Amino acid sequence: MLIVAAAGMNSQSWGSTGNASNSDRSGPHRARLMMLLWIILSSSMCLMVDGQMKIPPETVQQWAVSFGKEINALSARYSGAKLLQKKYKDIEGMVKIHEVDGEELVRNFAEEMEEMLGRKMKSVKRLAEAAEDADFYHEYNETMEYEYYNSLLINKVNEDGNPLPLGGPFPLEENEHFNKLPVNTRLSNIQVPTNVYNRDPDILNGAFMSEALNEVFIENFQKDPTLTWQYFGSSTGFFRLYPGIQWTPDENGVVTFDSRNRNWYIQAATSPKDVVIVVDVSGSMKGLRLTIAKHTINTILDTLGENDFVNIIAYSDYVRYVEPCFKGMLVQADLDNREHFKLLVDELHVKGEGKVKKAMKESFKILNEAVALGQGSLCNQAIMLITDGAMEDFQDVFEEFNWPERKVRVFTYLIGREMTFAENVKWIACNNKGYYTHVSTLADVQENVMEYLHVLSRPMVINHDHDIIWTEAYMDSVLFNSQAQSLLLMTSVAMPVFSKKKETLSHGILLGVVGTDVALRELMKLAPRYKLGVHGYAFLVTNNGYILSHPDLRPLYKEGKKLKPKPNYNSVDLSEVEWEDTEEKLRTAMVKGETGTLTLDVRTSVDKGRRVMFLKNDYFYTVLNETPFSLGIVLTRGHGQFIFIGNVSVEEGLHDLLAPDLIIASEWTYCETDIDPAHRKLTQFQAMVRYLTGKEPDMECDVLLLQQTLFDAVVTAPMEAYWTALMLNASGMDEGVETAFLGTRSGLMRFQRYTGIEKRTAKSFLTAADKENMFTLDHFPLWYRRAAEYPTGQFLYYIPREETRAGRIVIATTAVTVKVGKKTAVAGAIGVQMTLEVLESRFWAITAQPNDTDCSDQEGVCPLRCDSFDIDCYLIDNNGFVLISKQRSDARRFIGEIDGSVMTTLIRMGMFKRVSLFDYQAMCKMNSHSISSARPLLSPFYGLAAALKWFLSNFLLFLLEFNICGFWHTEHFTEAKPSFTVSSAHKKKGDILQPCDTEYPSFVHEPSVKETNSIIKCGRCQKMFVVQQIPESNLLMLVVQADCDCSRHYSPITMEPKEVKYILWRFVKCDRMRSQKIRRRPESCHAYHAQENANDCGGASVISLSASLFLSCLSFRTLVS
């Protein structure tokens, strides 16, 4: 009112201009009014500052202490933590604590793994010997009639109810050992790809000959019951599999699986190789020819593995690299690089005239430089020339670079139906120890590409060198249409099978490859979790530094509702998982096959990356002999350092083990149930009980683990009576307390459901589906791992993530330890799960001062109430996640997302710190970094002209290839579809996920800062807040002034991962892709043999043609190009 009045007076004064005297008086009067206005405004600002809401820290501290006492008493009562800690303290005099010897542990694990893998290798050797002997005594019969079991046709009948040819009754029985698939363990059967004629004489003779493997399959399985699939992949295309199964075709009724494409076949059939693919992209290669050429390149790429090296050159008038980043060098043919090449090949376009001479020179230079620098495979070298003709005089190129040694083999693929330059293209191959093939349709590609493998295998076959190979990790989702199998990571051991007949020796005939699979989960069971401690783990890497098995390897990603393998799932480098090893000391030592130790301070995430833990890890590593693998184990200082041993009688332990509230880790191996078929349906608990009761005394069991389990069962037995007594006292039970639980280092768990399933909020908690909170092969339960990093006796509280669908619940957990002398070992963890309402009711009751509170001695707002409209109160955990808020939807959210101003201030004051974590296995949506070579339309007229040109040229090419020139060929036209799909091309770029690197933050409370308060200036208002630690917990109470909005001045702080966008993205990515990391080459190489018959270099059928038609074709060809 004063301001308005003053303004009005001022207005009147300025309006009085009647005489000079008024004018003279108006100056001082106006000045006085302006002074009055300034004083009033200043006073109001002072009032606003002096009237700043003051939240009394003392009041918040009292609330925090009261709340802490209540929840601590509540958690202790319903969990029984003090009783369990007392029970373990009582037995400290009876136990011994040993320091874990990591070097001895990794050595023992390695020996057991070597023994297991050695048994697989012996089985494969027996198969190879049997197959070679069977072939030696088999006489080829061109007119053979033989009925074999075709896995696609067994147990099927025709319209008349009669068995289909090559089918017939084939008993199948569900088998636990083979992922519950229906199998026949008495017989193998044969699968033939759709594009191979199943009654071809080669197939019939091979099927008949390989029947001899049935007895060896069965004998192997009896000697080593842990064997899984055994197989023989024939060079003619059929695949004999034991045990026999019913093969399921794809949705189109087609069987695309060809064993000759599998990595185990290719690696066993050939030595490592350096390959330069040279593709003709001149104008004559347009249309179908370019499509066939691209498919040929992709098929060649599919035959390469991580021990091979590759590059691709395209040529027309000039030579260019498909990936300019790889200019002049070879890159490892891992899955990531192969897929990258395929994307680039798909963008190839044709133009100009083909000049093959320059391209060949460039290819030889790449290969020669790789040898000079000691790069690449340093074994076989090959050039793959894909063209529709070669008109130049190129002999001098081979004289300069390849003759007379002919160390580089040249394989040629003549594309299209035209045969004008066939002799030239064949000459190139035959004079460079290669092989010539003619690829006229898409259906021809597969068989013709495979020919080069047989040529490369000749020196090895002639030498009769049976090298055993092990593959990288893979998921064979093609082999079996069953989810259990397709999501199972495995490695294969394989060996080539040769013809021993003297008349074929110089030809070096490869009969096929035999092999068997090893599920990596089974292999990793030989490094038991209980010996490695809470945070410890074991892992395997290949000779190339790629992960074979690691608990942090995430090979799958979700696309819609389906789980799919990531494009680079089996080429994840150790440095991308153990990313704290910045100098790659660990990687280098393991790749070289060394034995040693290393210590690293690491940041590791739990709870799906939302929370961070700081650990000091000791790494111990050694090589697995006779394999390309190295084993590493991790022991965490403190928890992995010590293990305690207690002992009780079997009778006493067994009594407590049979209690109804007790379970054990179903994925751990307490007893071997896979050796005797009669045991395969037993659970681990059932097997353990049968062994301990003497019903199965010969069963192989882990005596130390059983001893620890029995001891833990006895020590934790009183908890059953304690929990039961609480539950029976229904009147004294707090509503919302649902489950008490405990777990020990032996994988033993006990839990008590205080609430029936119908009233329980957390229905899935501690069920078989709740992997995160159970003991698994990869990890201890989340509540166990988090409790182990928190002071013993103090409860740690957290809300499970929303995607776990656990409901509005909170978990309270604490560690239980055993101490002998100065050594402390974690015995287990115990806790209670309750609804969030249990804490909320106590929180809101405590955080509201009564209206009759004596405020005479208090400075600030009094009475202070969290239910007041101008106050916001939160209960947050030590990672900044909200448990309690006025807005119920805030639960689980990060406080920085809700109020960025407060979190920013807390970080600046040092109460919280931001920790950067990295994910090198992430999948991101495609963005502007994705390079497309598509040319934009310059104008509608340009687009119309381009479309017209395309139509005319392809129409003429169609007439040329399929009408006129086609008259020269007597064979039928084959309609075929490429095996690759382009469905992803129809997706929006933003919907396609691709591998990427991401950085994501985690936040952690600094425990030394127990309380703080501050005022945040936000433009015209200021906001006060007070933070107080809840004693004996990981929780914080946050009280914030609610009537000052700071959102315009402080952005929310999110925890969303961000893709690492390098400043010079193209160059940085190029540098990473070019980098040649340290790798260990396979020991054997078979690139040359003096007795090799190089005259067998392919050929073509004799072609007769009319001169007039030939000239017509040439004229059409000139028009098109």
Has residue 971 got a pLDDT over 80? no
Q: Of residues 983 and 324, which shows the higher confidence score?
A: 324
> How many whole angstroms separate alpha carbon 409 and alpha carbon 280?
18
Task: Provide the pLDDT for residue 31.
Answer: 56
Torsion (CA) 155, 156, 162, 163 in degrees, nearest 10: -50
Most confidently modeled of 465-469, 805-809, 1033-1037? 1033-1037
Cα gap 301→421, rounded to integer Å = 26
Chain mean pLDDT for the chain: 84
Residue that wins the pLDDT comparison between 416 and 1068: 416
pLDDT for residue 214 = 97
At 94, list the tokens. 């009876």
Please provide residue 800's backbone torsions phi and psi, each rounded to the nearest 5 degrees. -60, 155
Q: Cβ contacts of residue 649 below 8 Å, gap of 6+?
A: none
Tokens of 656: 């407590």
- Work out the pLDDT band at 1106, boundaries 50, 70, 90: very low
Calpha distance 606→758 (Å, rounded): 31
Structure tokens at 11: 């207005």
C-alpha 349/C-alpha 294 separation (Å) is: 11
pLDDT at position 9 is: 35
Q: What is the 3-state secondary structure (H, E, C) of 702-729?
A: CHHHHHHHHHHHHHHCHHHHHHHHHHHC
Query: Reduced to 3 states, what is the DSSP secondary structure of residue 799?
Result: coil
Lookup: tokens for 630: 């190295």
As a whole number, mean pLDDT of residues 434-460 equals 92
pLDDT of residue 177: 87
Q: Please report the pLDDT score of residue 640 as a whole number.
A: 72
Q: Which of 254-263, 625-634, 988-997 has the lowest mean pLDDT?
A: 988-997
What tokens appear for 606 in the block? 């739990």
Radius of gyration for the alpha carbons in the chain, expressed in angstroms and rounded: 37
Note whether 737 and 753 are within 8 A (CB).
no
| 436-439 and 408-415 beta bridge pairing | parallel
Q: Please, which pLDDT band fits residue 982 given cuts at 50, 70 and 90?
A: very low
What pLDDT score was predicted for residue 1101? 34
3-class SS of residue 54: coil
- C-alpha span between 192 and 208 (Å, rounded): 14
Whole-number pLDDT of residue 956: 40
pLDDT tens, residue by residue, 988-1032? 555 688 888 899 999 999 999 999 999 999 988 999 999 999 999
Measure Cα distances from 512 to 45, 78, 480, 587 in Å. Answer: 91, 65, 21, 35
Read off the pLDDT of residues 643-700 as tens digits, 9 standing for 90 and up.
888 889 999 999 999 999 999 999 999 999 988 888 988 999 999 999 999 999 999 9
**How far, in Å, CA of 921 to CA of 569, rounded?**
8
Does the pLDDT at position 957 exceed 50?
no
Q: Name the band, by pLDDT with cuts 50, 70 and 90, for residue 1114.
A: very low
Q: How far is CA 476 from CA 263, 517, 551, 589, 704, in A?
A: 10, 10, 20, 30, 36
pLDDT above 90 for 748: yes
In 249-355, which residue ranges form alpha helices assigned H by DSSP? 263-269, 288-302, 335-345
pLDDT in the model for residue 1067: 58
Type of residue numbered 1066: R
Question: What pLDDT is stored for residue 85 in this prediction?
Answer: 95
The residue with tokens 């160390």 is 407
771-830 pLDDT per residue, tens:
999 999 989 999 999 999 888 889 999 999 876 666 789 999 999 999 988 888 999 999
The pLDDT, as a whole number, for residue 842 is 95
**Range 158-178 average pLDDT:** 91
Distance, in Å, from the CA atom of 954 to the CA atom of 1119, rounded to the nearest integer, reads 11
Going by pLDDT thresholds of 50, 70 and 90, the confidence category of residue 947 is very low
| DSSP code at position 962 | I
Token reading at 915: 């920790």
Q: Give yes or no for a contact between 183 and 243, defined as CB atoms under 8 angstroms apart.
A: yes
Task: Retrieve residue 424's tokens.
Answer: 């030239």
> In what helix (H) or strand (E) does residue 191 lie, and over which residues does it extend?
strand 189-191
Across 267-276, average pLDDT:
94
Hey, is 1006 helix, strand or coil? coil
Residue 1071, pLDDT above cutoff 60: yes
Answer whether residue 94 shows pLDDT above 90: no
DSSP secondary structure, 824-856, as one string: EEEEEEEEEEEEHHHHHHHHHHHTB--TT---T
Classify burial at 1121, counting beta carbons within 10 Å of its beta carbon; exposed 0-12, middle 13-18, buried 19 or more: middle
CA pair distance 847, 56, nearest whole angstrom: 13
Yes or no: say if 795 and 813 are a contact pair by the CB < 8 Å rule.
yes
What element of type H or E holds 32? Answer: helix 20-50
pLDDT at 237 over 60: yes
3 Cβ contact partners less than 8 Å away, ≥ 6 residues apart: 37, 40, 41
> How many angstroms separate the most distant Cα atoms in the chain?
137
Q: Tell me: pLDDT of 213 over 90.
A: yes
Question: Is residue 433 left, alpha or beta, with left meaning phi > 0 and alpha meaning psi from -120 to 50?
Answer: left
Q: Looking at residue 713, what is its pLDDT?
A: 96
Cis check: omega of the bond before 404, within 30 degrees of 0: yes
Long-range contacts of 980-989 (CB under 8 A, 24+ apart): 980/295, 980/298, 980/342, 982/346, 989/926, 989/930
> In this predicted structure, what is the pLDDT of residue 680?
87
Closest CA to 430 of 965, 1096, 1085, 1104: 1096
DSSP reduced 3-state for 329 = coil
Q: How far is CA 993 from CA 261, 752, 832, 918, in A?
A: 26, 44, 40, 18
Q: How confident is the model at residue 932 (pLDDT cuts 50, 70, 90)?
A: very low
